Amino acid sequence: MGTRLDYMKISPDGVKALGGVYSYVKQCGLDETLVELIFLRTSEINGCAYCIDMHTRALLKMSVKADKVALIPVWREARALFSDREQAALAWCESVTIVAQTHIPDPDFAAAAGVFSEKELVDLTIVVGLMNLFNRMAIAFRKTPEAVLAVGK
């Protein structure tokens, strides 16, 4: 399956604006590994091959163990690998990403608010929202994962 449109080339100002939000996320104070875990989990939920490839590679480069990365989709069954904050962030990520199904119930909010400060929770929600947008762009326009590009080399 080939790329439909090169959205980065077609709308550089739009992509640059998204980059501004990404820059904020990188300096907002949330742990970089936590942010990448959330980027990956959001991408898994949305089925974004390009982003799954990218964020898996990022986590492995950050020396996150392959076992942990592999078990992110089933983190509840592998809780021992994830800190309390990571578990709360993953649960919040799932609730926010599938908002049409969850409507983000009060218990989900209370669980996340019990582990994150108000600012951290807002920033975490920005992380989830941004990745949902990037996933939609990559899926809609069929951005090719690096792993797939490497096969042709």
Q: Write out pLDDT tens, residues 43-94.
A: 999 999 999 999 999 999 999 999 999 999 999 999 999 999 999 999 999 9
In a domain? residue 140: yes
Rounded (10°) angle between helices 106-113 and 118-140: 120
Distance CA 125, CA 66 (A): 26
Average pLDDT over residues 92-102: 98
In a domain? residue 2: no
In a domain? residue 5: no
The pLDDT value given to residue 1: 63
In a domain? residue 1: no
User: What is the residue range of 85's domain?
Assistant: 11-151
Residue 105 belongs to a domain with what CATH number?
1.20.1290.10
Q: How many domains does the chain have?
A: 1
Q: Which two tokens stand for residue 97?
A: 């990403």
- Of 149, 136, 107, the C-alpha closest to 45 is 136
Q: Write out pLDDT tens, residues 27-55.
A: 999 999 999 999 999 999 999 999 999 99
CA distances from residue 46 to 13, 58, 137 in whole angstroms, order as listed:
25, 18, 11
Distance CA 35, CA 73 (A): 15
